[in-house]
A and B are shown apart, each in its own frame.
Chain A
């Protein structure tokens, strides 16, 4: 006897869970045309499926040229941040039923980064800002033989900002970043925060100086777009405020 196949239910079930949904996708391919256009696709989909599943149905069954990044498909790898119904989300963490499938679902590339093709943007400026904040532990003196000690409270202090998956949903939802690509952006500040408030780290002052720059943390206008956009639920605006406060008090 073969291993039981567990997914026959949908096909055999009398009441089909499938509904018809329109995806309205912002298409752009400079190999074909310099202009970006909206294109509609109608698909049959279970509303409990993800927007990413819808994009795959389109790519696999209707139009192989539709281009987007994806990998893990459950909100861990950070590949598929996109603008869905005008809001930055991960396509793999957004279920069809949660975004009103009655109306066309609009999908476009995240803003503020150059679109390369369809939903694919140039991520280099984003990663460069991340690299610029020294996103690594800096310690002085000889290394201990065993682990460095850290109390559970000290570990908890920066727990929230360790969750970042570098998907760019926050940075590309920030109006300041849209208007001025020089701004470090929320993701880079989140990753600086992760080390500034790590009791083991000894380069907090250097990182604060980097963020004291004219393109640094003071550009934040506290609009909370980043916090709303974060698929990991990180309190980003709060983290940015904590960095601002540390710059004033020099206590962290």
Chain B
């Protein structure tokens, strides 16, 4: 076991983690612990752009952006946070440009902007060009640019270090963050990191679905570490299904394709989005478009022999435009489907994409232990967190924005906290939980296999808590997940070694996914309304009287050791916008 002491520890090196690291390293002695090499993070898979009301190509302002974000989130967005997001977006984009990000340019040399789903001029009048982009690899360029600037600033990375536990110590009745426990992949060694401040920036949980745009490594490790230590998870029932994943594979095809003029068509060649969203059409918000696609499929207008997908049609766009603006996604269609997008439409289906919920924070990135109490020294930013700027449904281009705005904020806040506060004493035997977890898995002779349980989890999630949900399907999922959690106790690994034991880590990741899947399903079961990404066929309308509130899920352990999810609720912060019916 090795022991380390840092002012600030950041968990994760995607966009939010590295944006935080650039600020925290300037102000405090900082370590970044990341289970992947920094440039491997899934921020790099984001394609379409980053929203900011620069007004470089047409009239725009941050207030319109705030409104679109609140409306896009089906009014579950905390409006004070959305206002910060939209206001600080402009500097966030300019910061990245100054760091070197190669944005596409307008003829007069400023940052070019394009249309994206749900972003409108003057409160829904018409689509607006708000997304700042670098071809269809904006996330890649953000990740590269942030890593480049981490190199410039001399940020200290611990690569392939898996954070498996959050340390919390109670001081005078106040729960404070004391540090984290990490597992080093190369050696199997356990590391204790004592830190004044800890920032979680470890990404989403998409791998509990089967058809997903998420990387294999998105297993909710940060959410699980905090949840197991008694901290709540907010709005976990809200998961975004991106309308255009490659059929069966789930690989993301950017909404920017529709921003550039791409059209969704059913088997009759009909532009069906005109029926569902007369104004914004193919650029309605993602939840609306995903439901429309499945409605077409269910009503027998899907494409292919099984009628199980629809088409993204780019064939009317000039090949030069596809080459210049959408080179990567057209390449994906060629590589994985053998389809030439110049001449043939691309088969697509909705794909599990983004967790709106996560570790609850305030606008400084400070983690909450209930509706209002801050955990001193603990921060979260990016997809792992729930500020909540995305509410019930995130707008496209708002996540690359979120990681930059709240990554920066949490990096500054954590380093400033570390400068003013001393270390908190570590709990006794801080590594005990992780050592036991690893030894149990390594020594287990049980007959359950990780791959089987994960497959069954993903299948039940896709079938029961995806785009359409009912009491019945969610209950089926809850029961199945509980069964899988029971069976997980008998899971064993084949690799018993210490060196690069990815078999062991996959088992730990599965444990995290199972725990979070249960939180998600239980939260979804209790929300008897439809809002944003959470659509209940048995309760098809939004119910502002009973459910205009955030879900807060807590882990409760009974005296017999049994575990349950306890739900509580938190009011939504409303400032200038009253809830209205959501039409696109």
Contact = CB atoms under 8 A, between A and B. Distances in A.
> How many interface residues does chain A have, given as a range?
35 or more
Contacts of A245: none
Given A135-B151, A136-B148, A146-B94, A74 B36 contact: no
Contact of A7 (B106, B248, B498): B248
A152 B500 contact: no
Contacts of B499: 29-31, 116-117
Contacts of A74: 45, 249, 251, 332, 336
B134 A79 contact: no
Interface stretch (A37-45, A158-166, A207-215, A220-228): A158-166
Contacts of B297: 4
A86 B15 CA distance: 35
B215 A5 contact: no
A20 interface: no
A230 interface: no
B318 interface: no
Contacts of B449: 60
A160 to B, nearest CB: 11
B294 interface: yes
Contacts of A65: 494-495, 497, 503
Interface in B450-479: 450-451, 459, 462-464, 466-470, 473
A70 B109 CA distance: 38
Contact of B102 (A72, A93, A159): A159
Nearest to B477: A2
B37 interface: yes
B40 A147 contact: no
A19 interface: no
B100 A64 contact: no
Contacts of B216: 70-73
A147 B94 contact: yes
B349 interface: yes
A2, A29, A117, A123 pick with most chain B CB within 10 angstroms: A2
B497 A31 contact: yes
B186 A6 contact: no
B466 A3 contact: yes
Interface in A13-58: 29-32
B122 interface: no
Interface string A119-135: 01001000100010001
Contact of B500 (A3, A116, A147, A162): A116
A77 interface: yes
A32 B349 CA distance: 45
B94 A137 contact: no
A60 B495 contact: no
A149 interface: yes
B37 to A, nearest CB: 7
A200 interface: yes
Contact of B141 (A31, A61, A162): A162
B44 A3 contact: no
Given A1-B468, A6-B309, A148 B97 contact: yes
A55 B135 CA distance: 32
A149 B36 contact: no
A162 B45 contact: no
A131 B41 contact: no
B152 interface: yes
A170 to B, nearest CB: 15
A139 B152 CA distance: 13
Interface string A61-95: 10111011111111111110000000000000101
6 contacts: A59-B503, A69-B40, A70-B216, A71-B41, A72-B215, A93-B335
A-B residue pairs, 3 tightest by C-beta = A137-B100, A64-B494, A60-B451
